[in-house]
Amino acid sequence: MNRTQWGHRRVGELAISRYELVIFDFDGTLADSAAWMMRAVNPMARRYGFKTVTDDEIEMLRGRSTREVIRYLGVSPWKLPLIARAGKKLMAADAHTIPLFPETARMLRALNEAGVKIAVVSSNSEAVIRRVLGEELGNLISLYACGASLFGKARKFKQVTRQGVSRDKIICIGDETRDIEAARAVGLDCGAVNWGYAKPAILAQHQPTVSFSTMSEIISYVGASKAAVGGD
């Protein structure tokens, strides 16, 4: 089945959809944490007994799904919670070194001004996310559902859908294949960003509802769509 049959489209190819709530992933979607991740992966590998990787291998793994990456690294499933906890602790200590992507602030403000609610679902902690966003941007987020396990975002998405917005007016936006899988598992539309961890080709193979090359496209797709159906 081709991408058109599945409903995958680039921005501008089909009529714009209407959304009232956007659920963002954080690392790799709003925050440029790739450099931190690359610094942390091999020390974590040596500590927890999985495969260390070269820069070339990291680039290769960006073209694999999350599950394939875990298999390649040889990470035991029972170690995933331990690794996640250690990673969160390290990131909390280094939060001041993690920048937002250059267009993140503009995008969040534009969506807020368009009357679109914003949530963040992440495996990272709310404290770290708020520290990176800063007070002004952090206060634009209506709901934080943080501390998700590696494959536990679907449960967090369900929590967010209980906030009174119809599921057909919600879109989840992230940079990894697991973000797409989790959104689909709970019947939500999903947007894949092409500037984060996973390469666009592997994201396209997982058939997101829409893909984004810039944050301006997100503003147009989500914010402008509200005005198109009668919003101010």
Does 212 have pLDDT greater than 90? yes
pLDDT of residue 224: 56
Does 217 have pLDDT greater than 60? yes
Does 204 have pLDDT greater than 50? yes
Q: pLDDT of 136-190, one tens digit each?
A: 999 999 999 998 887 889 999 998 988 788 999 999 999 999 999 999 999 999 9
Q: pLDDT of 13-44, one tens digit each?
A: 443 446 999 999 999 999 999 889 888 999 99
Secondary structure (H, E, C), the chain: CCHHHHCCEECCCCCCCCCCEEEECCECCCECCHHHHHHHHHHHHHHHCCCCCCHHHHHHHCCCCHHHHHHHHCCCHHHHHHHHHHHHHHHHHCHHHCCECCCHHHHHHHHHHCCCEEEEEECCCHHHHHHHHHHHHHCCCCEEEECCCCCCHHHHHHHHHCCCCCHHHEEEEECCHHHHHHHHHCCCEEEEECCCCCCHHHHHHCCCCEEECCHHHHHHHHHHHHHHCCCC
